[in-house]
Structure 1
């Protein structure tokens, strides 16, 4: 016969086994990822799925070079996450090198949180705003995740395959591509690659910020050319801005309209989460495509 005390002990042990999950059944702790921008946060969170948690440093609505005051504040707001992060990902373009990476490293050093070991894109010059380049970026992110978490390789591979399909889904149809190829545009430099080489639109001219191309392609210089040779721009349908660069092309649109050219100024975006409901790179491409369809 068991004593009353023994019965109580047995019941307590049974309760522990019934209520508390075993160590083997507990979900693994999520990998914490700090990305410099939402461009890397997107493939990291999609491919990583339930095994990762990620944040981005830069505000996706602005170019990082315009965020000297914003980036440090965003880092402070995410201090605990960044301090304990497992992986740091950087695109490693000029904005990352000059703004995002130094801001994170300065924060970590100032707080004695240790040195940062970055995973960096192998070729930052290729961009990410076409399906082809976005898929190349995704392949690198997949490799980083597997490197950090080999046990999740099969899971990551499955998610990666799903991610690639999102880009196939936003390719223009034959009818859309035919329309786009007949469309003439003036485009901001950072959007020229997808406009010309993915959508297949005819770029009559392009413009750029003062700091790019030695100031030779600023909007005011395009306006001067429109005034001098309006016939060159007679069939331009769109003036395509880049959201993260600010409004540069209002004068171009006005110069065209003043000469009877009914061009429409539209604003493409480069970064996921910069527009409501546009949370992935594939959705960014689809959003931009539909602006000119």
Structure 2
């Protein structure tokens, strides 16, 4: 080995020193996000978990009562109604929303002016959910645009969409699908861009029509994205709150739109029963984990990964 090579090797900084320096810089850049997660996620989660075993109204010291809060909530008709309403919202909005998003993405993918339509579909996504709820609240009034259209066109008497338990729940589902459609369409359009045109051309040459290509080629290739979006959409549906809070005040007639998160809010911030509220939040956590685990277990049957 030449002396120049030896001198260069000796002049190079030790590899361990570089690794230590990179580690410190990495910790420095990660620290703000880690502190934010610790302060606003982990510590509140631990506090809520401990609070679920106590009786506390926000003042004084919490009184430990064991599993009484869980027994109370698991036998509560209000929590049962909230779980049913939340599962109905998830069961309706997730498959309907994903199907409409895929169809919309396939149709828009063939239009030359699709950026303009994407902006229109994406507008509700960047609009405040409170503003969306207030606009739809006016549209769904008995003397609103929708009832007026049905009356003038079909002679149907004005309908109080938000005054009936199941109609109000249906209205929540419609608004939820409408407001999330744009984001899903953009994501599925990105997935369509990754599908090679030669695959679709080969299917067409083999005699596959538009429907056959959609169900036999496009959907299987988009299945990983469908799976990811279904998991995210189910979790989001289980956390429905702001829309029902504004669209249908006081959880609607006969608690027709009472969701689990609204139930948690009602117990904690309206009735100052923070122990019961924390117990209900733990029930929501367990329900979310169970549904997510079921989705991951079922994905082996319909998700097709390349390679």
TM-score, structure 1 as length reference: 0.25
Pick the structure with more strand per residue.
1
* Greater percentage in helix: 2
Which of 1 and 2 has greater Rg?
2
Pick 1 or 2: higher relative contact order, CA cutoff 8 A, min separation 6.
Answer: 2
TM-score by length of 2: 0.24
